[in-house]
Amino acid sequence: MMHFFSKTNLLLVVIFGLSNEVLAGVGDTYVCKEKETNFAGYKAEFILYWNENSFEQKYKVEKGSVDTSTTAKFTIDTPDYFISIYPYQSAYESAYVTSSFDGMNFTNQFIDKDYTYVSSYDCEKF
């Protein structure tokens, strides 16, 4: 009988230990913080809303920065992750952003003809 309880406890530890990855998905909200200081001298933060066909980013605007909040449709989405490729709205006519999210890590890659910049974020469910 005691052996059964120790196996059950181990199973519960494994289930709850992996729950953040397993339970990520549509309808969830996350707080995301940039992993490294960006070229503007701070670590960006935003709220990420994982919607059914799109995602929405609401940035915390730092002094001297501009609001780059966005909503974009998914290019690829599964119950566990999404990828979105969309044009960047600025003076860069040929610029695109590729965003990906797996429930814990969010990555933006800004791509222009002569320039590429990648930013990575740690995210926690809100």
Please give the chain's pLDDT, 126 residues, in tens.
Answer: 545 445 544 443 444 444 444 467 889 999 999 999 988 889 999 999 999 999 999 999 888 778 888 999 999 999 999 999 999 866 657 789 999 999 999 999 999 888 899 999 999 998
Token pair of 87 as six digits: 């044009």
Q: Delimit the domains of the chain by residue range.
A: 2-125
Tell me, what's the pLDDT at 88?
83
Tell me, what's the pLDDT at 25?
85
Q: Does the 2-125 domain belong in CATH 2.40.128?
A: yes
Tell me, what's the pLDDT at 76?
97
Tell me, what's the pLDDT at 39?
86
The answer to whether 83 touches 98, Cβ cutoff 8 Å, is yes
| pTM for this prediction | 0.77
The answer to whether 46 touches 60, Cβ cutoff 8 Å, is yes
